[in-house]
């Protein structure tokens, strides 16, 4: 069979590799892909948001299954268009993808159905938003309502921080129309975790292994939020007991609520959760797709063939599926262009990608090939280095050892503490 993966990041490189190794698959395409996906699949020069172009390509090539990586095409209705043309595609339709596309939509849903999350207020203009932050306790969180590539979230410790965030979102339009409406919510204390599920049209839910992302750009979770600077799986904060609570108190009620609201959910449901000191989970956000970089360690730990699981989901029979996971830990470190998540240089050469050693694996993200077949940077998050080990510390050491061998003339950087929470738990 032929499979099309949409997107160009490290998540897509990881998915293309996993799908390429399926016994059911003859050929994998990636649109638009990167220098890494071109090694195990065939890149197609169609942007991820060119829905008409992707539909035309899928029809022409008789694609049997399409997997969507990024959120933007999902929110803009790619699943609806593929289904109209009789094409199999895994992901939520436009109405269901509002769970990621609009934080206000999600907050209203959670509030209406009593699903635990932070208290919030929404605002459409600067004056009432300013009045709100003058009266609010600190720290607080300000979020753009729409899509902002994981960067439209501000943790504000005082009024000055909060007003700056409002000004950037609502006046300067830093994230375009995504910041036309904003939410101001209570700051939740605790430890974050990512819980990802496959959901089919019959409401069956298949949990994947837990993971934990590192969103802040700097060591110790300092600095602005990014699309993700590293991740590991499993997340030790998610115990077996807590897994059951999350399913019964958050995930199952959300899937039922979406069906009740007339937008039944099918596809990947990513829950970003905060676990407080008492072990109680609350929803920070929902995403309508696999996480990036959480996908990379998840795919390295997944022993099962991914493709039959996706096909079973499309048949509405996820209750018949089980996923086999290696007991090993997988830890992924993101290497980004200096300056990210602000302005950064593109087009610089990256060497020694194939000399990272046998203990780690490199997924490419913001890369492309120049006219001389050299790998050069093309984005903010450039490489993902993932390692497997019996321990979190072992996986961390292997990943950073591999990073030392990559040559970018000092133009790439990474956090130096990916996995520190799990390592601290391990050492306790």
- Taking only the tens place, the pLDDT of each residue in 262-290 is 999 999 999 999 999 999 999 999 999 99
Q: What is the pLDDT of residue 171?
A: 93
Alpha carbons 345 and 9: distance in angstroms, whole number: 17
Residue-wise pLDDT tens digits, 2-37: 999 999 999 999 999 999 999 999 999 999 999 999
Tokens of 389: 């080990």
The rounded distance, in Å, linking the Cα atoms of 296 and 317 is: 26
Q: Average pLDDT of 30-56?
A: 97
Q: Which residue do the tokens 């979406």 mark?
A: 258
Q: What is the pLDDT of residue 357?
A: 64
Look at residue 131 in the predicted model and tell me its pLDDT. Answer: 94
The helix/strand/coil state of 340 is coil
pLDDT in tens, 303-347: 999 999 999 999 999 999 999 999 999 999 999 999 999 999 999
| pLDDT band, residue 150 (cuts 50/70/90) | confident
Average pLDDT estimate for 131-139 = 95
Query: What pLDDT score was predicted for residue 151?
Result: 80
Q: Which fold has domain 190-320?
A: D-amino Acid Aminotransferase; Chain A, domain 1 (3.30.470)
Domain boundaries, the chain: 2-93, 125-180, 190-320, 329-427
Name the residue among 349, 336, 340 with its Cα closest to residue 418. Answer: 336
Distances in Å between the Cα of 383 and the Cα atoms of 158, 364, 386 are: 35, 5, 10
CATH says 2-93 is which class?
A: alpha beta
CATH for the stretch 125-180: 3.30.1490.20
- Res 355: pLDDT: 67
Nearest CA-CA partner of 318 in 219, 171, 207, 210:
207
The conformation of residue 188, written as its DSSP 8-state character, comes to: P
Instruction: Please provide the CATH number assigned to the domain covering 329-427.
Output: 3.90.600.10
Q: Is the pLDDT of residue 356 over 70?
A: no
Q: What is the pLDDT of residues 153-163, one digit of tens each?
A: 999 999 999 99
């Amino acid at each position: 069979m032929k499979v099309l993966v949409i997107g160009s990041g490290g998540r897509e490189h990881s998915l293309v590799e996993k799908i390429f190794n399926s016994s059911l698959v003859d050929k994998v395409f990636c649109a638009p892909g990167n220098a890494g996906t071109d090694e195990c699949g065939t890149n197609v020069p169609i942007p991820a948001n060119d829905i008409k172009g992707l539909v035309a390509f899928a029809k022409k090539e008789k694609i049997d299954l399409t997997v969507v990586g990024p959120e933007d095409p999902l929110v803009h209705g790619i699943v609806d268009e593929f289904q109209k043309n009789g094409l199999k595609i895994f992901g939520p339709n436009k109405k269901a993808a509002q769970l990621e596309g609009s934080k206000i939509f999600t907050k209203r849903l959670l509030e209406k159905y009593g699903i635990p999350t932070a208290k919030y207020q929404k605002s459409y203009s600067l004056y009432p938003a300013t009045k709100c932050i003058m009266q609010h306790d600190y720290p607080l969180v300000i979020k753009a309502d729409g899509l902002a590539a994981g960067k439209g979230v501000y943790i504000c410790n005082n009024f000055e921080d909060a007003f700056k965030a409002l000004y950037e979102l609502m006046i300067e339009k830093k994230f375009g129309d995504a910041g036309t409406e904003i939410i101001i919510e209570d700051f939740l204390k605790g430890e974050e975790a990512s819980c990802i599920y496959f959901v089919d049209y019959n409401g069956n839910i298949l949990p994947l292994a837990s993971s934990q992302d590192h969103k802040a750009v700097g060591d110790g979770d300092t600095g602005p939020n990014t699309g993700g600077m590293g991740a590991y799986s499993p997340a030790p904060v998610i115990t077996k007991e807590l897994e059951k609570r999350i399913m019964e108190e958050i995930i199952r009620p959300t899937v039922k609520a979406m069906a009740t609201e007339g937008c039944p959910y099918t596809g990947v449901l990513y829950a970003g959760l905060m676990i407080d000191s008492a072990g109680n989970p609350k929803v920070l956000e929902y995403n309508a797709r696999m996480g990036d970089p959480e996908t990379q360690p998840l795919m390295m730990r997944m022993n099962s063939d991914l493709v039959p699981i996706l096909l079973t989901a499309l048949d509405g029979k996820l209750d018949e599926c089980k996923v086999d996971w290696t007991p090993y830990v997988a830890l992924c470190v993101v290497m980004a262009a200096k300056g990210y998540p602000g302005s950064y240089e593109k087009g610089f050469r990256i060497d020694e990608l194939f000399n990272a050693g046998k203990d780690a694996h490199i997924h490419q993200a913001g890369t492309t090939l120049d006219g001389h077949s050299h790998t050069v940077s093309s984005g903010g998050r450039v490489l993902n280095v993932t390692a497997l080990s019996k321990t979190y510390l072992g996986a961390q050491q292997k990943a950073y050892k591999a990073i030392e061998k990559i040559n970018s003339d000092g133009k790439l950087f990474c956090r130096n503490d990916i996995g520190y929470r799990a390592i601290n738990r391990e050492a306790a």
